[in-house]
A and B are shown apart, each in its own frame.
Chain A
Amino acid sequence: MENHSHNPAAIKKQVRLYIAVFTALMVLTIVTVAVSRLHLALGIAIGVALIIACCKASLVGGFFMHLLWERRSIRWLLLLVAFFVIALIFLCVLGTLDIPWAAKHL
């Protein structure tokens, strides 16, 4: 996309964006720690922490790693990897159904 060109004006604009993303990442990090101090129920705490972590990862990936402006082939590659990782986790967690006390919570 045009957004990610090498002309000086565009780069300078991007630098401002990087600083904004940096600030957002700092704030989200503080928020994660603050939420953990609330001592929410474990399930909710895990959910909130993972959502915040995913937001932070998307910010780093989207802006710092230029995924928002990257070729579609790279994004497809990452989607494929995401699918495999989720499948890996899902299948292994399914395996825990054999553990009676773990099954109770799934």
Chain B
Amino acid sequence: MQIPYAVETRPDTGLTNGKLGIWLFLASEVMLFGAFFTTYILLRVGTSPLLNTGAFHDPASFLVTLREAKEPLSQYLWANLSTDSQKAVRNYDVAQYPQRSLLRGVTDDLNRLLQIGSLYTPERFARIALSPLTKAMLQREPEGRDLLKLNRRLLEEAYAHEFIITDGSGWPVGAHLLNVHIGLFNTLVLIASSVTIVLAWASLALNNFKNFRLYMGLTLLCAFIFLGVKSFEYAEKFAHHLLPATNTYLAIYFTLTGLHGLHVIGGILVNGYLWGPGSAMWYTEPQRFTQRIEVAGLYWHFVDIVWIFLFPVLYLL
């Protein structure tokens, strides 16, 4: 079947069908990602400063610190755990990753404690370096929800290795949970792939098929590097028991980056075909092939734009 208006523009739209098609598709993609970004906003605004089982970076170490109770703060927390929790923590086997029910018991007890009064006494925090913001909050002697936020901060700063550092309202700070350098590297790789694919198209427009193969090849290389780095990041998170089910931040992180990753894979399939077997069209229908590269490029640039928003939102804010 002959696809109409693949090379010459359609009189009524003024566009080739391929180009109109990809733009309509991208418009629907904007809505899709827009919906997920909205989800991110809702999850973030709805965060509670109360502790939950996803509040920990290293729960095992926290439980051990609690039961050993070597310094005043841990002694205080330990003394205020319910007898059931104390028993469960005492029986906890360090070789195992803590069960969710165990963590829930402990966080329930701690949450009660966080709401009744300030955790701070000079004695308990004698050997803990508090941040200027936390010190300023202490001065204000807050109540209610602000007291809860202050107490959560105090806990996070006292057990910086054990807790996931949050922005004070319970939403994890991306830079503490993810590696910004790796994220930055991947951002630069994806931007580079965006310029190489547009250069691949320009090479065809200049009748230079050899350069097209080079630039499209570089685009594919960048895409593979991006995916390789991303899977390394995922593996590192999984190894530390940081899973989509751990907390809402990680849930939206894996959803957004996973969906973006699927788009990268889709782009690799199409670009790979156009780089390899599909490029035979250059010798039979050069103009149509050039059009195809432009359309594939539009999709690829969109994938780049999505990452341009994902990177600061997930890694930096």
Q: B202 is contacted by which of A18, A53, A92 (Cβ under 8 Å)?
A: A18
Chain A residues near B184 (CB-CB < 8 A): 29-30, 33
Give the contact-size bracket for chain A.
35 or more
The answer to whether A89 and B41 have CB atoms under 8 Å apart is: yes
Q: How many residues of B contact A (CB 8 A)?
A: 47
Query: B312's contact among A22, A53, A61, A64, by CB below 8 Å, is which?
Result: A53
User: Measured between alpha carbons, how far is A74 from B26 in the docked complex, in Å?
Assistant: 11
Q: Closest Cβ of chain A: how far from B287's Cβ, in Å?
A: 9
Asked whether B90 is an interface residue with its Cβ less than 8 Å from the other chain, the reply is no
Binds A, one of B54-62, B220-228, B274-282, B302-310: B302-310
Residues of B within 8 A of A1 (CB): none
Q: Which of A9-42 contact B (CB under 8 A)?
A: 11-12, 14-15, 18-19, 21-22, 25-26, 29-30, 32-33, 36, 42
Asked if residues B316 and A33 are in contact (CB atoms below 8 Å), the reply is yes
CA gap between A15 and B20 in the complex, in Å = 24
Q: Given the complex, which residues of B lie within 8 Å of A99, measured CB to CB?
A: 45-46
Query: For residue B24, which residues in chain A have a CB less than 8 angstroms away from its CB?
Result: 77
Residue B13 at the A interface, CB < 8 A? yes
Task: Report yes or no: B31 in contact with A84, Cβ–Cβ below 8 A.
Answer: yes
B46 in contact with A25 (CB, 8 Å): no
Instruction: Say whether, besides A11-B206, A42-B167, A96-B45, A53 and B309 are in contact (CB < 8 Å).
Output: yes
Given A18-B202, A26-B191, A92-B38, also A53-B308 (CB < 8 A): yes
Shortest C-beta distance, A79 to chain B (Å), equals: 10
Is B180 interfacial (CB 8 A cutoff)? yes
Given A26-B191, A60-B308; A89-B38 close (CB under 8 Å) = yes
Assuming A74-B15, A92-B38, A92-B41, is B317 touching A29 (CB within 8 A)?
no
For the complex, what is the distance from the CA of A49 to the CA of B194, rounded to whole Å?
Answer: 21
What is the minimal beta-carbon distance from B7 to any residue of chain A, in angstroms?
A: 12
Among A42, A53, A78, A84: residue with most chain B CB under 10 A: A53
Nearest chain A CB to B1 CB, angstrom units: 26
Hey, which chain B residues are within 8 Å of A57, CB to CB? 305, 308-309
The 8 Å CB contact of B34, one of A25, A36, A89, is A89
User: Contact: B42 with A92, CB < 8 Å?
Assistant: yes
A78 CA to B167 CA in the complex, in Å? 34
Alpha-carbon separation in the docked complex, A49 to B199 (Å): 28
Asked whether B195 is an interface residue with its Cβ less than 8 Å from the other chain, the reply is yes
| Residues from 143 to 169 in B contacting A, C-beta threshold 8 Å | 145, 167
Alpha-carbon distance between A36 and B192 when the two chains are bound, in angstroms: 22
- Residues of B contacting A18 in the complex (Cβ-Cβ under 8 angstroms): 195, 198-199, 202
> Which B184-230 residues have C-beta < 8 A from chain A?
184, 187-188, 191-192, 194-195, 198-199, 202, 205-206
List 28 contacting pairs A-B, 8 Å CB cutoff, sorted by A: A8-B206, A11-B202, A11-B206, A26-B188, A26-B191, A29-B184, A32-B316, A36-B175, A36-B317, A57-B309, A60-B194, A60-B301, A60-B308, A64-B198, A71-B13, A73-B14, A74-B15, A74-B20, A74-B23, A77-B27, A78-B27, A85-B31, A89-B34, A92-B41, A92-B42, A93-B41, A95-B42, A102-B45
Which 5 residue pairs across A and B have the least CB separation, nearest first? A85-B34, A36-B316, A49-B312, A22-B195, A81-B27
Beyond the given A50-B312, A57-B305, A93-B42, could you list 17 further A-B residue pairs with CB under 8 A, ordered by the A residue number? A21-B195, A22-B195, A26-B191, A29-B187, A49-B316, A53-B308, A57-B309, A60-B304, A64-B198, A74-B15, A74-B20, A74-B23, A82-B30, A84-B31, A85-B34, A92-B38, A102-B46
